[in-house]
Amino acid sequence: MKKLKGRLWYLWWGNKPWKLMTDGGETDLWPLMENIFISLSGKRVSHKRELESYILFLDPDSGSQLEYEPNKSLVLKAIEGFGWTNISAYLDEVLIWLDGRMVEIEIGDDGLKICADKTEEVFGLYFTDGNSCKIPQNAENTICKIGQGKETCIFVSLSQDGFYCEKFSSMTARVLLDRLAKGTLNAGRIGNCALLGRKEELVTT
């Protein structure tokens, strides 16, 4: 079992390396994770996604097996009948949600686990408008650091009723991370904010 701890710097699935910034330097997570995908391919596997963690593990009672085709697909496919789950989509989403944060990772022959480091103090946000998170007043300055060049978080956006965070809006976040990888953003920081759940705002007329 290999255990790692550091700050995640993830720029979307196709943009390598997947960096873990540790006290000893940078570690590329992709080859470590891909070795697990290869090892588990064809075996009964289950997975579990939560707000701050993702687990992929051997499970003899699972009705699905992992199928990994390098550069093509990573899915759980039903052993009997029809049905499949796109594992890469689930893992990608959690990696984006944990991006910029201190994380703990365990990688072994029986699977992998990545979760937030609970000791890190982070700013929390709620879904308030679909998958966007309304940023509390003044936090756009103290947390998002708007107008501060490369110190500005790439996920902050401006709407008619204030500032929003798009880190947890997966489709938008992927576009922003891809632009960061290609160097087409003025902002340059991946904020370490956490998702706390959903709290829709009341709409008054």
Answer whether 168's CB lies under 8 Å from 133's CB. Answer: yes
The token duo for 160 is 């008619």
Sheet of 162-165: strand order equals: 133-134, 162-165, 156-159
Whether the per-residue pLDDT at 82 is higher than 70: the answer is yes
The token duo for 14 is 């196709």
CA distances from 2 to 33, 66, 172, 191 (A): 11, 21, 33, 27
pLDDT tens per residue, range 148-201: 999 999 999 999 999 999 999 999 999 999 999 999 999 999 999 999 999 865
pTM over 0.75: yes
Cis bond leading into 31, ω under 30°?
no
